[in-house]
Amino acid sequence: MMNGAPIYTSKRTGKNLWQEYRIYPDRLELQSWCLFHTLVIPTGEILSVEIHSPGFIWGIKLDNCNLCRHVVVIKKSGLFKRIGFAPDDPEKFVAVCKSILSGC
């Protein structure tokens, strides 16, 4: 079910290259200027969501996440299973994300 209104939207900032990251009840939508695409990750595909300190991560990086506290989503399948990005409030993003995952 693709619901229309997000339950959380990260603010656009310089650290996330003015991209928008949204949480819906059934998916995440991660906008990426670099990939010219919005990644849609259904909740059933999410293995974990974690906060990481600044530093290098393996996987796809959607913004300047290596330079600041950021979120890493680990997917169950696909070519790129680790996706890093820097929402404006990593703690709140992860908390809301975990709340929709607990319903799965």
Which helix (H) or strand (E) element contains residue 85?
strand 82-85
Residue 97 pLDDT > 90 = yes
Residue extents of the structural domains in the chain:
16-101
Q: How far apart are CA 66 and CA 77, in angstroms?
A: 23
Q: What is the pLDDT of residues 43-92, one digit of tens each?
A: 999 999 999 999 888 899 999 999 999 999 999 998 889 999 999 999 99
- What pLDDT score does 2 carry? 59
Residue 48: the pLDDT is 96
CATH class of 16-101: mainly beta
Exposure letters 74-101 (e unless 16+ CB within 10 A, then b): ebeeeeeebbbbbbeebeebbebbeebe
What is the band of 104 on the pLDDT scale with cuts at 50, 70, 90? low
pTM of the model: 0.89
Q: Where are the beta strands (DSSP E) in 18-80?
A: 21-24, 27-32, 37-42, 46-52, 60-61, 70-75
